[in-house]
Structure 1
């Protein structure tokens, strides 16, 4: 199991997105176009969902690859005599 901080942060970001998706945040993303459904709570949930989506789609894969590559390089450098 990789415990690199980048890997853990990427998995945490994706977990937050998954929780917001399961909570129904997708239906409130209309706040980005100016259509607020559900009042202030819906607007907040929609904004959080959009930020989590960007994090899961843009940041998490980069962090995951960086953490895995760093871990593999560290493991390879320890294996060298």
Structure 2
């Protein structure tokens, strides 16, 4: 179950980072992806962090949660089978 907790914790950390950056207004600084720099170098760094956190939330968080759920189900099933033998 240690692996399950690590996967779920990682997913929650990524989602929380995205939420914090979104609440701080990071969406307005993502224009650097199209070449329009708003806010100078600090704005560019903020926009890159926001974009990376968005991509990780969209791509990695669902995978980690599903993998954690599948791992927990397999461990539970293995433990049930071991009791019946």
Specify the alignment match of 2:20 in structure 1: 19
Specify the alignment match of 2:43 in structure 1: 42
CA separation in 1, counterparts of 2:30 and 2:9? 27
Shift of 1:7: 1.0
Shift of 1:68: 1.0
**1:1-81 equivalent positions in 2, closer than 5 A:** 4-80=5-81, 81=83
Return 5+ residue gaps in structure 1 as ranges.
Answer: none
CA separation in 2, counterparts of 1:22 and 1:66? 28
Secondary structure at 1:62 match in 2:
helix
Between Structure 1 and Structure 2, the one with more helix by share is 2
Secondary structure at 1:4 match in 2:
helix
The number of residues matched between the two structures is 80
Bigger Rg over Cα: 2
CA separation in 2, counterparts of 1:59 and 1:32? 21
Let me know the Cα RMSD of the aligned residues: 1.4
Return 5+ residue gaps in structure 2 as ranges.
Answer: none
Shift of 1:75: 1.3
